[in-house]
Amino acid sequence: MFSKACEYGIKAAIFIAVNSSENKRVSPKEISEEIDSPQAFTAKILQALVKNNVIKSVRGAYGGFEIDKDKIATIKLAQIVYAIDGDGIYNGCGLGLHTCNENHPCPVHDKFKVVREELRDMLENTTLDQLASDIKSGVSFLKI
C-alpha cells in the first residue's frame, strides 16, 4: 500500500520521535540501522521530511535529526505519507488502472474506496506521539 520510501519514512519519524521525547538527536547512520534501510536512501527520505517540516536537521558536532517535543503530538501520519508519496494513496486504483473512477470503475473500485477512506481516517487521526508512546511502553516495536 505504501511505497518502500514511505514505510522507511514512517519508521524513521517514529524513531526520531522516540529519541526526541528523551531529548536525544539521532544521526542518519543510527536511523538507517534502526529502520534497516540503506544509508543513502534514508538520507533522501530524511531530506523530504525536513523539507516538509516533519523533522528538523541540526548541523554540527552535536547535530542530527530531531522533532520539537511539543510538535510530536501534532504530527499526523498523513503528513509523513504526503511528504514522501504525495496524496496518490487516497486516489489510486486498487488494481493500478489509470482510468479508474466513479464513471469508469474497476471491479474492486467500490470496495477499495472504503479501504482508502478508512486508511485516510487512520492516517489523519494517528499522531507520532501515540506511536512513540507505544514503542516506549513496549506495546509495539520497530525492529525485530
Segment 74-77 long-range contacts (CB within 8 Å, at least 24 positions apart): 74/127, 75/13, 75/17, 75/127, 75/128, 75/129, 76/123, 76/124, 76/125, 76/126, 76/127, 76/128, 77/10, 77/122, 77/123, 77/124, 77/126, 77/127, 77/128, 77/131
Could you report how far apart the first and last alpha carbons of the chain are, in Å?
A: 21
Residue 93: the pLDDT is: 87
Q: What does the block give as the cell for 81?
A: 505519507
Residue 53: the pLDDT is: 96
Residue 144: the pLDDT is: 57
Residue 143: the pLDDT is: 76
Q: Which CATH architecture has domain 4-137?
A: Orthogonal Bundle (1.10)
Residue 142: the pLDDT is: 83
Which residue ranges in the chain fall short of pLDDT 50?
none
Residue 1: the pLDDT is: 73
> C-alpha angle 40/52/91, rounded to 5°?
95
